Structures are given as structure tokens and as C-alpha cells.
Amino acid sequence: MAKARTVFFCQNCGAQSAKWIGRCPSCGEWNTYVEEVVQKETAATTTGQWKPASTVPGGNLQKAAKSRPLADIRHEEEPRILTPDGELNRVLGGGLVPGSLVLIGGEPGIGKSTLMLQIALALKNLRVLYVSGEESEAQIKMRAERLADGQHPGCYILTETNTQNIFRQIDQVEPNVVVIDSIQTMHSTLVESGAGSVSQVRECTAELLKYAKETSVPVLLIGHITKDGSIAGPKILEHMVDTVLQFEGDRHLSYRILRTIKNRFGSTSELGIYEMQGTGLRQVSNPSEILLSQRAESLSGMAIGATLEGNRPLLVEVQALVTPATYGTPQRSSTGFDAKRLQMLLAVLEKRAGLRLGQHDVFLNIAGGLRLDDPALDAAVCAAVVSSLNDVPIPGDVCLAAEVGLSGEMRAVPRLDQRLAEAEKLGFREMYVSQFNGKDLAKRPGMRVQALGRLEEVLQNIFG
């Protein structure tokens, strides 16, 4: 048995030190080093650990890796595993990649376990192993019965936290997909610290990563998050996995957003939207309809902007409230939109449009709980602020898509044709864009495209 020793690990970034230090030299955080017991791997401790495919029969020697010229390496496009969930396929970049390690994080109670169990039950033609370290078999069975079509004979449930025992079950079941709920509850006998510690999370993830790459079996990990919204554990956890997905939304509301943070096999700006129901999560195929409020009359302070999330065009409702300042310093508050960009746009409205906003509180909200940073929403934000200031509503069939520069010019936005097509499909009859979009300004029979060069011209045409 190798002699155990103690090492200090940073709980923020995973850096290690032989002694305790106050400030981490890697990430700069203070008082994040904790002492943990570590032990070198020996032949006795590897019993039950995942054995790679390159192991020589009759011994525990491995073939040494050899370097190869890049030109001699042949690459064949492997078919992805398409899940019945179109929203998950979208954010993954076209489906599950064989041998990939996917990490899904989110708030407690947001629906991470429900989503993963729903996917496991939907893969009818595959053998799925669902490993839970937080719930009993009876609890998982109760959730499966609540889900629509919650019967799948090829879905195996395992309630275990020891990775060595998990790999023994994997050898017996031989699954096509593995789900781990959650990685913070797993522990390995190779490390003597408690579950959820920096060394345990790193070791368990490394074992699962080795298994996924050796067998080409995709592994889905559910991860906890901290109070500031970042995934719990060392930052190296996000570096080790292939894809990081963030499950967002208010658990008291019905809509959930699945956002891509990191993806080695696709875009990092994709978005999937779900609706939480009693029978599970329902895919929202046309999110623009839920992001636009259904109102019988026009109200001031509301403007419709055309934005893009990945390859998906969205029409969102921008809500603004401008009121005289009660206290000495006017408030500037925004939800779902960059607060510094809002202040910049308010300065442009004061300087270029002649509006007096210095003695007014300005509150801005992106309806639907989305967080957007698309500059194409600048024109909609300005129009909503002016509408609320003058208490004049914007017609319900008008939308905007343009970036606003510091001199008040309307700047072009990319892929305007997709934004126009989405607005036309939803029944909008007039759209204000930049005149510098050029070839994207093709005439559309059902929509009037207003191509202007200055913000003042847009406000004059809308409000007169």
C-alpha cells in the first residue's frame, strides 16, 4: 500500500500546492486552498477501475503510444446519435457524438434529472445506463411513470456512487449511452478525500473520460452549480469535458432554456427552449410565439426586435419603463440586456435625438427570461425607451433590427434575410433596418422594409 500524503488544492481552479497559501497564484482567489489526502495509484487499488482496450491480455501492460504524421491519419465522419429531442440535438451540434463527454449544469430543481431521464427513456433502440447517486430506484421509477411514454426495457437504473462498482456494472450491461447523476456525488477509491472535493471530481471525471474515449460510448454528466451560478468543482472539470450545457430559467415559471457554453463538435451560440409540464419537458419548436406577449391593445414602452441565437432567428419583446426620478440620482436597470450598453444607448438618445433622460429612471426588460447580447436589438431598445418616455405605443405589426452607433447611425446586422423571414412568418408588416445591409434588402411582397441610415429618421417615422 502506497503511503498516503496530503496536498492542498484550490477549490476555485484546481491548482495544487504542497503547503497552504492564502492567495492562489493561478486564479488570484483568496482562502480557497483546502487540505486533502491523496494516494498514488497501485496495482491493488486499480481493481474494478476501467480497463482500456489497449490492455494486453494476461497482464497489465499497455501499448506505448507512437507519434504519427498528420497526413497518415485517416478521419472518417462518425454518424451522430440522434435523440428524439430536437432541441438537444440542436445545442449539441447535430446529436450525440460517440465517445463524447457532455456536462449539464443548472440550478437545483430546474429539471436536469428530468431532462436526462426523459432522454434515456426516449432512446428506444439503444441500451442506456442511468447512474444516480442522489435518488433511490423507487424515486426514479416514480419520475419515469410521470413522464410521457415512460417505459423502456433497455433503460437500466443503478444507484451507486463508487466508480469502481459502476465500471463493473458497465462491463455487464455494455450500454450505448451512460448518464451520471451527478458527478459531485461520485467518488473513487484511488483518492481518500470526500465526494465532491476537487481531487475526487477530477479523478472521477478522468476515469469516465478515459472510458468514453476508449469505447466510443457517450457519457452525460449532471453537475451542480455554486451560488454565483458557476459549475461546482474545479475549473478543470469544464476543460476536461467536450461539451458544457447550461440549463437556465426560473423554476417557478414554465419555460426552460438549454444554452451551450462549450462545444468541441458544434456552435457555442445555440439555444434550446423547453416548457415544463406535468408529463415532462416539452420542446418549443417556435420560441418567437412564446416570447411575444399576446395583448389586445397596443401599450407604450414595448418594441419588437429581431435577434439571432446560433442559427435560430427569434423575435423578442423589449419592454422599457421611463419615469421621473424620485431620488437625486436616476436609476438605470436592465434585465436580460447589458446594462453598460443601455447607458450608451441612452447617451446616444440624449446627444443625437435631443431627448432629456438625465432626470428619469430607466428600466429595461427582455420578455421571456432571455439574456441577449445581440447588437441588432439596439434599435428596438431605443424605440421602447422613446415610446415609454412619450407614452406613445408602437404599432403591433412593426419590428426593428439594427445596431446603433455612437454618432446615431443605423449599422448593418448579419443574416438579415433570416430575421425578415421570421418576422414575415409571424405576421409583421413593417420592419426598420439599416440602409447599409445592401443585398439583404430584397423586396418582400408581404412586408414593407424601411431601410434608413439614422436613428432620428427611425424615431421620426415611428412616432411622427
C-alpha cell at 186: 461520485
Strand partners, 239: none
66 is in an annotated binding site: no
236 known ligand binder: no
Q: Give the chain's count of helices (H) and strands (E).
A: 11, 21
How far apart CA 319 and CA 302 sit, in angstroms, is: 5
CA gap 398, 379 in Å, rounded: 12
- Does 213 carry a binding-site annotation? no
* Residues 378, 372: Cα–Cα separation, whole Å: 11
**285 known ligand binder:** no
**Residue-level length of the chain:** 464
Flag whether 112 is marked binding.
yes
Gap between the Cα atoms of 248 and 8, Å rounded: 33
What cell numbers appear for 9 in the block?
488544492
- Residue closest to 86 by CA, chosen among 308, 368, 310, 282: 282
For the chain, the distance separating the N- and C-terminal CA atoms, rounded to the nearest angstrom, is 84
Residue 345 and residue 329: Cα distance in Å, rounded?
18
Would the annotation count 108 as a binding residue?
yes
Name the phi and psi angles at 392, rounded to 5: -120, 120
Q: Is 110 annotated as a binding residue?
A: yes
User: Is there a binding annotation on residue 40?
Assistant: no
| Closest CA relative to residue 196, chosen from 227, 224, 238 | 224
**Residue partners of 290: CB distance under 8 A and separation at least 6:** 255, 273, 275, 284, 368
304 in Cβ contact with 462 (< 8 Å): no
- Is 346 in contact with 355 (CB distance < 8 Å)? no
Q: CA–CA separation, 6 vs 339, rounded Å?
A: 45
Annotated binding site: 106-113
| Binding residue numbers for ATP | 106-113
